[in-house]
Amino acid sequence: MRVPDLAVIENGAAIVPEDIALEIYRRICRTRTFEEGLIKAVKDGFVTSPVYLSSGQESIAAALSVAVPGPVIFAQHRCHGVYLSYGGDPVKLRDELMGLPTGTSGGRAGSNCIQCHENGVVMHGHHGLIGENVPIAVGYALASKKSTLAIFGDGAAEEDYVLSSLGFAATHRLPVLFVCEDNNLSILTAVETRRSWKVSKVAAAFGMEAVDLSDDPWTIFLKAKELVKKTPALMNIHTCRANWHVGIGTDGPVEWDRFLDVRNALKGAGLWDKAQKIEEAERFCMEKVWEQGQLRRLSGK
């Protein structure tokens, strides 16, 4: 049974310090408002390459990026949220999606392969095979001993090489935080159709601490802060993809709307006035990124 409050700490928005609660919200809004602009740009024909949206799931990267700053990041295809939350430049992401030489990989790679090597962010690009980033992350941690973040989906978690990478990281006690963004779907196939086991149980059996929780950002923040000190460790986070697997359409009503829940939580914590200003500021910034005249010039359309 998937529920929005699995292992969720009650009143999290009020428990975490106010500046942190608001910073997490700012990063949530960053991804959401960037992708609002992107969706429009796709509709208007300015972005024609395939896009993998993070909307609906953005609380995970937002909370992680505040809780676990500065890791070497290996994300999967659904990575706009990771890139933006950790401090990637939205203009460069836009340019990558538009196939421009000023993009994160010179416009050669695209939505599912975003990298960042500036502003103190180290995020290695994915190449498109689900879960391929997990053994690479583990090898990176082995060779560098640096704090490493491996983010993948519930589908990727089934890849044999992901499972054996968890085992290797457990054997050698490597500094990797594994985060599974479990949106219950591999494209359109639900987890229960695909497997009877939980990745958290497998990770625990390998000998690392592993938790299942839903995508309440305050809980993710608190838990990630704790687990990053005990790596290797795994978080399997239940979340809901708002849009299609690839593209800007929607598959119908989502199980829960975390963005709405987060707003309500901030209201409950008496932070709504400040939060609203933050959201407006982010939207204003992203409207500039996606401004029509500029898109016309850049795309020559």
Partner 1 sequence: MGTRTVAETIREITRAHLEGGGMLLGESISAVGWVNNTVPDAGNIMELPMTDVAGAGIAVGSALAGRRPIFVVRFQDFLILNGSPLIFYAAKLKGLHEKSAPVFVRAIAAEGLGPVHSGVLHSLFMHFPGFKVASPMTPREYEDVWRVYMESDDPFICSEHRASYSNKDELTDEIMAGADITIYAISATRFEAKKAARLLKNDGVRCNVVNIVWLKPFTLTKRITEPLKESRIGLVVDPGHEIAGASESIAYSMMINTGYPVKALGLEDRTKCLCPPLQNRAPDAGRIVEAAKELLAGAGRVFT
Ligand X SMILES: Cc1ncc(C[n+]2csc(CCOP(=O)(O)OP(=O)(O)O)c2C)c(N)n1
The residues that touch ligand X, with contacts defined as CB under 6 A, are 77-78, 128-130, 152-156, 181, 183, 185-187, 245
Rule CB under 8 A: say whether 55 interacts with partner 1: no
The rounded Cα 87 to chain-centroid distance in angstroms is: 12
Q: Which does 187 bind (CB under 5 to 8 A by kind): Mg ion, ligand X, partner 1, none?
A: ligand X
| Placement of tokens 């949530």 in the chain | 28
| Placement of tokens 């990771």 in the chain | 82
Least distance from ligand X to the Cβ atom of residue 184, Å: 8
Q: Which residues, in sequence order, are CB contacts of 82 under 8 Å at separation 6+?
A: 54, 61, 64, 65, 73, 75, 114, 123, 151
Rule CB under 8 A: say whether 125 interacts with partner 1: yes
Rule CB under 5 A: say whether 153 interacts with Mg ion: yes
Rule CB under 8 A: say whether 277 interacts with partner 1: no
Rule CB under 8 A: choose which of 31, 85, 165, 186 binds partner 1: 165
Nearest CA-CA partner of 128 in 147, 107, 148, 114: 114
Helical ranges in 107-229 per DSSP H: 133-144, 160-171, 191-194, 199-206, 217-227
**What are the φ/ψ torsions at residue 49 (nearest 5 degrees)?**
-80, 160
| Placement of tokens 């500094």 in the chain | 175
Q: Which of residues 104-123 bind partner 1 (CB under 8 A)?
A: 105-106, 108-109, 113, 115, 117
The rounded Cα 175 to chain-centroid distance in angstroms is: 19
Q: Tell me whether residue 155 or residue 175 sits nearer to Mg ion (CB atom).
A: 155
Q: Tell me whether residue 30 or residue 241 sits nearer to Mg ion (CB atom).
A: 241
177 Rama sector, left if φ>0, alpha if ψ -120 to 50, beta otherwise? beta
Cβ-closest position to ligand X: 153
Q: Point out which residues bind Mg ion (CB under 5 A).
A: 153-155, 183, 185
Q: Give the residues lining the site for partner 1 (CB under 8 A).
A: 105-106, 108-109, 113, 115, 117, 124-125, 127-129, 132, 134-144, 146, 160-162, 164-165, 167-168, 171
